[in-house]
Structure 1
Amino acid sequence: MFRLADDVKVYLHREPVDLRAGIDSLAILVEQTMQLDPWSRSIFAFCNRQRDRMKLLFFDRQGFILLLN
């Protein structure tokens, strides 16, 4: 278990996403569809159509991190 900083927000993209998408494609979704800044102190969650897999995208001070579960 881990703890997020108090100023970190978590956003869920509600529509299913093709999880073959990479960092660039997901960052564009954040900007254009969610109208948010992908470089903000936020975690963006994306699910596949079956809702049994998830990708998390977030930016730390050195670059983007993409996690697949």
Structure 2
Amino acid sequence: MDYEGFFDFVLIYIACGYTDMRKAIDGLAAIVQQNFQLNPFQNSLFLFCGRRRDRMKALYWEGDGFVLLYKRLENGKYQWPMNAEAVRALTPQEFRWLLEGLSIDQPKAVKKIEIGACI
């Protein structure tokens, strides 16, 4: 899935643990607000995964309405962080890893240096 250029979100959040995948837009937006104290109307993509970790929903506010994306893997599982009741911000690279079936915690990945850091 190549999301770049299709959506204009600034931040990506992943809801760790499992989410009841019967929830639709209103239920997922309520989780964002009530459980994570975040604004579902902000320019962010919110990711949710079911108990079996083979399905993912993504919620995004497009300015005039919500977009709800749903992806079901035909083979394999997402490497989803399961520490329940937590939300975590992802980098675009971590999001790509997740979609490719990799863990978002890559211990051998080279970390980017922040601009303005002193050497």
Same fold per superposition (TM over 0.5): yes
> What amino acid sits opposite 2:26 in the alignment?
D
**Secondary structure at 1:11's aligned position in 2?**
strand
The C-alpha deviation readout for 1:5-41, integer Å capped at 9, x for no partner, is: 4x61000001201111010000000001111000000
- Gapped runs of 5+ residues in structure 2? 72-119
Match of 2:61 in 1: 59
1:2 maps to 2:3: yes
Greater relative contact order (Cα < 8 A, sep 6+): 1
Q: CA RMSD in A?
A: 1.3
**Secondary structure at 1:25's aligned position in 2?**
helix
Over the matched positions of the two proteins, sequence identity in percent amounts to 41
How many residue pairs get aligned? The number is: 68
Higher strand proportion: 1
Runs of 4+ in 1 over 4 A off after TM superposition: none
If the length of structure 1 is used for normalisation, what is the TM-score?
0.90
Q: Who wins on radius of gyration, i.e. which is larger?
A: 2
User: How far, CA to CA, are the matches of 1:18 and 1:31 in structure 2?
Assistant: 16
